[in-house]
Chain A
Amino acid sequence: MHPVLKLVVQRLALGLILLLACSAVIFLGVEALPGDTAQAILGQSATPQALANLREKMGLDQPPLTRYFQWLGGVLTGDLGTALTNGADIATSIGQRLGNTLFLAACAAAISVPLAIILGLIAARHAGKWQDKLISGITLTTISLPEFVAGYFVIFLLTQDNWLTQGIGWLTGGSGRLLPVAMVFPGMGFWERVNAIILPVIVLVLVVLAHMMRMTRAAILNVMQSAYIETAELKGLSPMTVIWRHAFPNAIAPVVSVVMLNLAYLVVGVVVVEVVFGYNALGQYLVDHVTKRDLPVVQAVGLIFAAVYIGLNMLADVIGILANPRLRHPK
């Protein structure tokens, strides 16, 4: 077997074991939450009789271990069960929400990743000069804003009647004001969806930009200390060519791992942004079900999030290996 293939298979197997461990931890964590589903559903209106009825109906009277293995068996056969709270099929509900989550993450990534890398390259090229300071200053400012503050800022700037939206309206010939609530529905066209999520995409780009940009800059500056870069410079190559052709390929591994971390964040960590813009994706769905102690849903979404996280990190590892000739051709 080719050593790279072997390495990849190894990583995959490790990932699966990790996922199984995650499922157990998720189950334990959910069990440890105070109160149970029946109580959370009935809330202020709980009576002992209603509680007992509901528990029996939901199978909450079974021991936890039995419920864990029943659930795991279901997951392996693609059956996530039905939500305890409203009886909806979990796989169907998650399918649509997951699509929305991935769409938002993909749009934010499509803008932020190239932008961060280009800005990182420019900052490295002009390290220590005003360009570098300007880029670092702006991106560090945006990352320092909590997401909801950034969200309210964009809502204020782009959805209300003010000089900015009037200016945009004058340029584009429309009202220039965007809609604050970014809901997407089945049946909406692709561009309609893109139009609906402009605001959350802007916020997410602002939030993830700095991390990736700083890592690109640091990794390249690190490589720039090497002797072969000096050789390239002495050969008379232009600074941008040196960075792009010689320094960047050797800086890919750390950049990719940071990019993947940010992608994972875009998928699993944006619940605050979802709430601020009323975007109907997986994070809000998870929070709703946590508060109602809807264990099957919480477990299913938790598992999906864990899988995304583990998967993206694995991908970063593999790309890192492939990008590194020394790892690609081990002696």
Chain B
Amino acid sequence: MNDKHNQLDWLISRVRKGAMSRREFLGRSTALGVSAGLAGALFGKVALAQEAKKGGTIKVGMQGGESTNSLDPALAASEVPFQVNMTWGEMLVDVHPDGTIDYRIAEEISSSPDAMEWKFKIRKGVEYHDGSTVTAEDVVATLKRHTDEKSQSGALGIVQGIADMKAEGDMVTLKLSSASADLPYLMADYHLIIQPGGGVDAPAAGIGAGPYKVVVNEPGVRHTFQKHANYFDSSIGHADEVEILVINDNTARTAALQSGQVHMINRVDPKIVELLKGVPGVSIKAVAGRGHYVFIMHCDKAPFDNNDMRMALKYAINRQEMVDKILGGLGSRGNDFPINAAYPLFDDTIEQRDYDAAKAKEYYDKAGHDGSPIILRTAPGAFPGAVDAANLFAASANAAGIPLQVKLEPDDGYWSNVWNVEPFCASYWGGRPVQDQMYSTAYLSTADWNDTKFKNAKFDELLLAARGELDAEKRKGEYSEMAHILRDEGGLILPMFNDFVSGVSDTIGGWVDDPNGELMNGRSQVKCWLA
């Protein structure tokens, strides 16, 4: 009994330091025999008492940076530029870990009843690093820059739907070409950082309204930052300085965390998670997110133009085995549509599809395939463990009598020569904040990134209807119907959703599990503190 008391005290002290999440606390305290209700109340009380400490330098070691990176937010495509931009930049809005809107530069948002016209009220007195003030004109200029094809913005698809934008005083008005109930979420896209004058003259200057100023920008090596003294929000930005080191090698990154050279690392290799758990002073944060690993079939090319063949392959993959072996248990099974519980309006009653050799065989025979090998292309860089996953898939498919064969491709040139070119290959998606955006990006008939060549009129119709639907229940129903269509007719085989796995030193306080993105959606260095 006494021992349990000590353990509970220890857990409470960890929460006080901000070193333990609610989920972890509940799990461990209930394991000690504390009732769940009491544990929840206890956590709330203790967590409130934890106080952010100011000062010091937070150091983050990250994979996903190259010497080719730029500070231009339009061009951000990998993890380090994302994290870097979240340090110096500020958007109109962000998304809280619980999925609600986090008002940043916009302090109020309202829409017309038909969701065609949106008004954003710009917060007063938000200051850029160069001392000038954020205006409604800057916001419009920023959005305009991303609308321009020449900016090569990753957010082009998002801002394209804005027909007209206007700045008046502290109000920005956006008129859409078709209704969208999710517009605030779209404005939380990480490319849409508000820049002085829209960043038209100097897109890569790194001047923004975020909590830290850029001091050193050495792409592919390190990025250092200093606190922006006039930052508008005193509840975040605790450290005096932030350092992001690019350490692409897994072993070096892990060793850097263990030796205290950095406080946090991203992308912990699932294979070593169990080993790292035993290391004192370090904890592993596995956070369920929206990212997923996929095998994609082109619905318009033989033999995948036959839905029976697609269904055969969907039944021929062993999802639980993938989660266990490829993700080391740090993830969840997919159900052949790209949405999971991390999304608002998710329908959790849709039946989970699992490995069924008999059904796979049945569909395969119905498809009347000539028996020639079905080639699945993969590469080590398609997603972590993509080669092993493809081999597991082939083994379970062969057991069901389907002649699936793996062809290994080089990483180099994979995204230009294989993905979107070959009819069947491995790939990944990072997920989007809302269902509409995920579906519009890759499953609408006319989507630029429709990498399964999925064209379904009913699906498109539902997507457009749901987009303008402000009634949540109706919307949920429409999304559920779409999920069913994609699951039973689409070219997507989605065996698993992967967790974001990060390593965090015990000297870090304020960690919160955030399903929106890796390392607290790019803000760990801004929201955490050195305890």
Quick one: closest B residue to A291, CB to CB?
A: B412
Q: Are B416 and A46 in contact (CB under 8 A)?
A: yes
- Determine whether A34 belongs to the interface, using a CB cutoff of 8 Å to chain B: yes
Q: Say how far A286's CB is from chain B's closest CB, in angstroms.
A: 9
Assembly CA distance A53 to B74 (angstroms)? 15
- Determine whether A305 belongs to the interface, using a CB cutoff of 8 Å to chain B: no
Contacts of B411 in A (CB 8 A): 291
Assembly CA distance A177 to B258 (angstroms)? 11
Residue of A45, A185, A275 touching B449 (CB-CB under 8 A): A45
Assembly CA distance A173 to B507 (angstroms)? 24
Q: Are B66 and A292 in contact (CB under 8 A)?
A: yes
Assembly CA distance A36 to B416 (angstroms)? 8
Assembly CA distance A285 to B221 (angstroms)? 10
How many A residues are at the interface, by size bracket?
Answer: 35 or more
Q: Say how far B286's CB is from chain A's closest CB, in angstroms.
A: 23
Q: Are A86 and B70 in contact (CB under 8 A)?
A: yes
User: With A43-B77, A44-B449 known to touch, is A275 a contact of B204 (CB < 8 Å)?
Assistant: no
Q: Are A289 and B249 in contact (CB under 8 A)?
A: no
Assembly CA distance A101 to B163 (angstroms)? 52
Q: Are A159 and B255 in contact (CB under 8 A)?
A: yes
Q: Are B251 and A152 in contact (CB under 8 A)?
A: yes
- Determine whether B150 belongs to the interface, using a CB cutoff of 8 Å to chain A: yes
- Determine whether A324 belongs to the interface, using a CB cutoff of 8 Å to chain B: no
Q: Are A180 and B252 in contact (CB under 8 A)?
A: yes
Residue of A35, A275, A278 touching B417 (CB-CB under 8 A): A35
Which of A86, A152, A289, A290 counts the most B-chain CB atoms under 10 A from its CB? A86
Q: Are B247 and A278 in contact (CB under 8 A)?
A: yes
Quick one: closest A residue to B216, CB to CB?
A: A185
Q: Are A44 and B70 in contact (CB under 8 A)?
A: no
Assembly CA distance A291 to B220 (angstroms)? 13
Residue of A33, A85, A285 touching B70 (CB-CB under 8 A): A85
Assembly CA distance A44 to B430 (angstroms)? 12
Q: Are A40 and B259 in contact (CB under 8 A)?
A: no
Contacts of B413 in A (CB 8 A): 33-35, 40
Q: Say how far B4's CB is from chain A's closest CB, in angstroms.
A: 30
Q: Are B259 and A57 in contact (CB under 8 A)?
A: no
User: With A47-B448, A53-B152, A85-B70 known to touch, is A276 a contact of B249 (CB < 8 Å)?
Assistant: yes
Q: Are B259 and A177 in contact (CB under 8 A)?
A: yes
User: With A185-B222, A278-B248 known to touch, is A57 a contact of B255 (CB < 8 Å)?
Assistant: no
Q: Are B222 and A288 in contact (CB under 8 A)?
A: no
Q: Which of B202-238 contact A (CB under 8 A)?
A: 204, 216, 218-222
Q: Are A275 and B249 in contact (CB under 8 A)?
A: yes
Assembly CA distance A47 to B255 (angstroms)? 39
Contacts of B313 in A (CB 8 A): none
Q: Are B246 and A278 in contact (CB under 8 A)?
A: yes
- Determine whether A308 belongs to the interface, using a CB cutoff of 8 Å to chain B: no
- Determine whether B415 belongs to the interface, using a CB cutoff of 8 Å to chain A: yes
Q: Which of B271-313 contact A (CB under 8 A)?
A: none
- Determine whether A181 belongs to the interface, using a CB cutoff of 8 Å to chain B: yes
Assembly CA distance A83 to B69 (angstroms)? 11
Q: Say how far A308's CB is from chain B's closest CB, in angstroms.
A: 20
Contacts of B150 in A (CB 8 A): 53, 57
- Determine whether A142 belongs to the interface, using a CB cutoff of 8 Å to chain B: no
Residue of A33, A160, A280 touching B259 (CB-CB under 8 A): A160
User: With A276-B251, A292-B66 known to touch, is A183 a contact of B245 (CB < 8 Å)?
Assistant: yes
Quick one: closest B residue to A181, CB to CB?
A: B256
Contacts of B258 in A (CB 8 A): 159-160
- Determine whether B61 belongs to the interface, using a CB cutoff of 8 Å to chain A: yes
Q: Which of A44-66 contact B (CB under 8 A)?
A: 44-47, 49-50, 53-54, 57
Contacts of A289 in B (CB 8 A): 67-68
Q: Are B252 and A276 in contact (CB under 8 A)?
A: yes
- Determine whether B419 belongs to the interface, using a CB cutoff of 8 Å to chain A: yes
Interface 1/0 per residue, B140-177 and A, CB below 8 Å: 00000000011010101000000000000000000000
Q: Are B261 and A181 in contact (CB under 8 A)?
A: yes
Q: Which of A314-331 contact B (CB under 8 A)?
A: none
Q: Which of A90-129 contact B (CB under 8 A)?
A: 93
- Determine whether B318 belongs to the interface, using a CB cutoff of 8 Å to chain A: no
Assembly CA distance A57 to B148 (angstroms)? 14
- Determine whether B57 belongs to the interface, using a CB cutoff of 8 Å to chain A: no
Which of B69, B152, B449 counts the most A-chain CB atoms under 10 A from its CB? B152
Contacts of A174 in B (CB 8 A): none
Contacts of B222 in A (CB 8 A): 183, 185, 280
Contacts of B256 in A (CB 8 A): 179-181, 278
Interface 1/0 per residue, B239-270 and A, CB below 8 Å: 00000011111011001101101100000000
- Determine whether B85 belongs to the interface, using a CB cutoff of 8 Å to chain A: no
Contacts of B204 in A (CB 8 A): 86-87
Quick one: closest B residue to A292, CB to CB?
A: B68
Interface 1/0 per residue, A124-137 and B, CB below 8 Å: 00000000000000
Contacts of B255 in A (CB 8 A): 155, 159-160, 180-181
Contacts of B435 in A (CB 8 A): none
Interface 1/0 per residue, B27-58 and A, CB below 8 Å: 00000000000000000000000000000000
- Determine whether B525 belongs to the interface, using a CB cutoff of 8 Å to chain A: no
Contacts of A177 in B (CB 8 A): 259
Contacts of B75 in A (CB 8 A): 86
Residue of B219, B251, B419 touching A44 (CB-CB under 8 A): B419
Contacts of B248 in A (CB 8 A): 275, 278
Contacts of B216 in A (CB 8 A): 185
User: With A43-B415, A292-B68 known to touch, is A155 a contact of B427 (CB < 8 Å)?
Assistant: no
**A residues adjacent to B (C-beta < 8 A):** 33-36, 39-47, 49-50, 53-54, 57, 83, 85-88, 93, 152, 155, 159-160, 177, 179-181, 183, 185, 275-278, 280, 284-285, 288-292, 294
Besides the contacts A185-B218, A278-B249, what 20 more A-B pairs have beta carbons closer than 8 Å?
Answer: A33-B413, A34-B413, A35-B413, A40-B415, A45-B77, A45-B449, A53-B149, A86-B69, A159-B259, A160-B255, A180-B259, A185-B216, A275-B248, A278-B248, A284-B67, A288-B67, A291-B66, A291-B411, A292-B66, A292-B68
Listed by A's residue number, 24 A-B pairs whose Cβ atoms lie within 8 Å are A34-B412, A35-B417, A41-B68, A42-B152, A45-B154, A45-B449, A46-B416, A53-B152, A57-B150, A85-B68, A86-B68, A86-B70, A155-B251, A180-B252, A180-B255, A180-B256, A181-B245, A181-B262, A278-B247, A278-B248, A280-B218, A288-B68, A289-B67, A292-B68
